A = this chain, B = another copy of it.
Amino acid sequence: AVNEARLWDSLMEMAKIGATEKGGVCRIALTDLDREGRDLFVKWCKDAGCTISVDQMGNIFARRPGKNNDLPPVMTGSHLDSQPTGGKFDGVYGVLAGLEVVRTLNDFGIETDAPVEVAVWTNEEGSRFAPAMVASGVFAGVFDLDYGLSRADLDGKTMGEELKRIGYAGDLPVGGRPIGAYFEAHIEQGPILEAETKTIGVVTHAQGQRWYEVNVIGQDAHAGPTPMERRKDALVGAARMVGEVNRIGLAHKPFGRATVGLLNPIPNSRNVIPGKVFFTIDFRNPNEDALTAMDAEMRASLAKIAEEQGLEIEITQIWHSPVVTFHEKCVGAVRNATQRLGFSNMEIVSGAGHDACYINRVAPTGMIFIPCEDGISHNEIENAAPADCAAGCNVLLHAMVEAATA
């Protein structure tokens, strides 16, 4: 069994890097704080006897050798970057659960047949650089390297530049090598396990996602002398569109999700009628056809609103991550480990995207969910119980050892 206190202490130690006043974490991808988090992880892994390599997307691999190092590694991992108002567990838990597996194997002097690796994937959140999971996507061959390195934040800084700046632009080619199996432990980030009072979610699928960027174009004008009927107020139009996106989510209950997370009026000045609004849409559905239907409904409604308001509109789908079915072998390994260890459990569909979704394309992959308080994530108050963190980590340990044993 893993060391619950050690795992918890590591989580709390890492959470100091980018700690916010409200008890959360702001450790945005490829900032100085992301570098600090990476440095601490690398130090801990070296102390645990691992060798470190970094690829050209800044993905970090900490390797614990096995008996037969020609065997493909059994890998786990997740991400260290956070949302601007993120929590202490999203991503970090999966990384430090991996480290705890290594430390536990060391404690008991266990030598696996295959080597074990713990991965940190760059920019999983997709908050600073869209889309999400871009570096595991390059690893899995979904995106090419140039696409990955050229992703830019709203200030125009690219991932390539920022990786160099923080010293994590590695030499290793991205992907293209065999992995025996990949497991990722994560907080659920939703309310289901808590509501059902289950300790472990055996993740079978992940929802499909479509992300969009929308520009609504009207005309800047003075808020005082411009009569209401002469206005081309891009924000009035965008506001109706936000309502419509939400309506589409509600119309696809219980499984559809529709969110406008980012919205920037331009010029964003109190006494100027906004001439332009840039906003994003995040659509999800575990059913690919329903996701396609949401796309069509959204395009029709937004065009209609734009026409009615005398505005122009440009809608660009910037990302499509189809519904994922995890690998039966790994889902089975998670289920077996959970049952063997006697944890209450249920099958669950991931509402969030995870690096595991992309790694599943190049290696047999499975995921382990643990509950989080009130189902709240992407929030500074995100919380998880030490015992649940240890439970998920024990399942991870057992699933990995099984997979790493010939």
Contacts and interface: CB of A to CB of B under 8 A. Distances in A.
A384 to B, nearest CB: 14
A225 B375 contact: yes
B190 A378 contact: no
Contact of A228 (B228, B253, B267): B253
Nearest to A90: B222
A247 to B, nearest CB: 10
Interface stretch (A273-281, A331-339, A360-368): A273-281
B253 A229 contact: yes
B263 A221 contact: no
Interface stretch (A39-47, A103-111, A122-130): A122-130
A151 to B, nearest CB: 13
A246 interface: yes
Interface in A235-250: 235-236, 238-240, 242-243, 246, 249-250
Given A226-B190, A239-B240, A219 B376 contact: yes
A127 B271 contact: yes
Given A85-B220, A225-B352, A256-B228, A268 B264 contact: yes
A263 B271 contact: no
Indicate the size class of the contact surface on chain A: 35 or more
A368 to B, nearest CB: 15
A191 interface: yes
A123 B254 CA distance: 51
A91 interface: no
Contacts of A243: 236, 239-240, 243
B239 A125 contact: no
A230 interface: yes
B271 A282 contact: yes
A117 interface: no
B226 A375 contact: yes
Given A85-B272, A270-B130, A378-B220, A236 B246 contact: yes
A378 B272 contact: yes
Closest 6 CB pairs of A and B: A225-B351, A190-B225, A239-B242, A223-B259, A220-B379, A239-B239
Given A85-B272, A259-B272, 18 more contacts: A83-B271, A84-B267, A84-B268, A127-B272, A189-B222, A191-B226, A219-B376, A222-B379, A223-B378, A224-B282, A224-B350, A227-B257, A228-B256, A228-B258, A229-B253, A235-B261, A261-B270, A271-B378
